[in-house]
Amino acid sequence: MKKFMLLIIGVIIWLVLAGYNNNYANTEQVEEAMNEVVKEAQTSEVNVEEVEKPDVLSDEFLLLDSQKEKIEQAKKVQNTQEGINPVKVEIPAIDVSANIENVGILDNGQMGVPEDISEVGWFEPGFKPGTKGNSVLAGHVDSKEGPAIFFNLDKLSKGDEIILTGKDGEKLTFVVTGKESYPYQNSPIEKIFGPTDSRSLNLITCTGTFNRSEGTHEDRLVVSTVLKEDVQEKEEKVNPNEVPDAPTNVNASGNFLSWHAVRDENVVGYRIYKADQNGSYKQVESISSIERKSYTDENASTSSYYVTAVDIFGNESAPSKKYISEKQ
């Protein structure tokens, strides 16, 4: 109700300013603006009595086996978003299998690398693999003895996979999206190590001519990758953080409340909320997406309801447009 009043006040202020600037306030504009505010308030302002939701969707909704499989996959997606502490890296395309050592920043400001040329370093002060941001692995390209762990890194192509194993045995697979070389004294640090909306992993090694006076190669090769699950979700247009649309056409007739299904294959069910005598809405039923989109209540036509949709990630939609009985 407080938000509703603030919206009303905001519209009044807008109308006053509009009238001041235009020397008039059109009555139809006033009515149209007020109607929009009321409509917005009806769909967004809902007093809901908090009810603990089941942790397991199968305890709430009747699910098909295919939906159960999707939910398990969704759980894996959500779990990996917390990231892992990598201990091993595998790159099948160039026959790499190596232990990972945590490294930090050297006194000269550069990223450290393992002393063992057969191991790879993870920049531990940066982002964890699996979280949003650029996590970074670095390895030697060669040594006085010959080729090192990332000697063939430049042979990677788009689509090649990098598999990381965490300390608890969890695995993440990243897919190569590109590669680029930069002068070692002029590399885009923010692009390689900085934040990003994607869950990225960058692999770094030396490349180019060896500069004996500097004691290092003149360039740095950066192979960019993104989490394979993110690529699949983008292709399938699945976003674990995006809530489903709200159901439409909520209506009551006789003893039945009905609504139209949400056209989203990831929706697994619907929650029905009913208003009590104080106007607070409480969940009264859960209906699976494979069941009829109706709810039986002997007081259906004289009560008020709204319905929400729930997807495989457990995301719940905004309330539908409420059905409000004229007798209330």
Cα(136)–Cα(134) distance, integer angstroms:
6
206 is a catalytic site residue: yes
217 is a catalytic site residue: no
Domains of the chain: 48-81+241-328 (2.60.40.10), 102-234 (2.40.260.10)
Is 200's pLDDT higher than 80?
Answer: yes
pLDDT of 264-300, one tens digit each? 989 999 999 999 988 899 999 999 999 999 999 999 9
pLDDT of 51-100, one tens digit each? 566 667 888 888 888 888 888 877 766 655 678 999 999 999 999 999 99
Q: Report CA-CA distances (Å) from 3 to 6, 42, 128, 145, 282.
A: 5, 11, 40, 71, 21
Give the residue ranges of DSSP H helices in the chain. 2-22, 27-44, 65-80, 189-193, 228-236
Query: Which residues lie closer than 8 Å to 156 by C-beta, 6 or more apart?
Result: 91, 93, 94, 176, 179, 223
pLDDT of 116-169, one tens digit each? 999 999 999 999 999 999 999 999 988 888 899 999 999 999 999 999 999 989
pTM of the predicted protein model:
0.52
278-306 in b/e burial notation, b at 16+ Cβ within 10 A? eeebeebebbbbeeebbbebeebbebbbb
Name residue 207's beta-bridge partners.
219
Name residue 224's beta-bridge partners.
178, 202
Helices and strands of the chain, counted as H and E runs = 5, 16
Lowest-confidence region among 2-6, 213-217, 251-255: 2-6
Selecting among 89, 175, 206, 300, the annotated active-site residue is 206
Selecting among 84, 98, 137, 140, the annotated active-site residue is 140
pLDDT of 229-268, one tens digit each? 877 665 555 567 789 999 999 999 999 999 999 999 899 9
Q: What is the DSSP string of 169-209?
A: S-EEEEEEEEEEEEETTS--HHHHHS--SSEEEEEEEEEEE
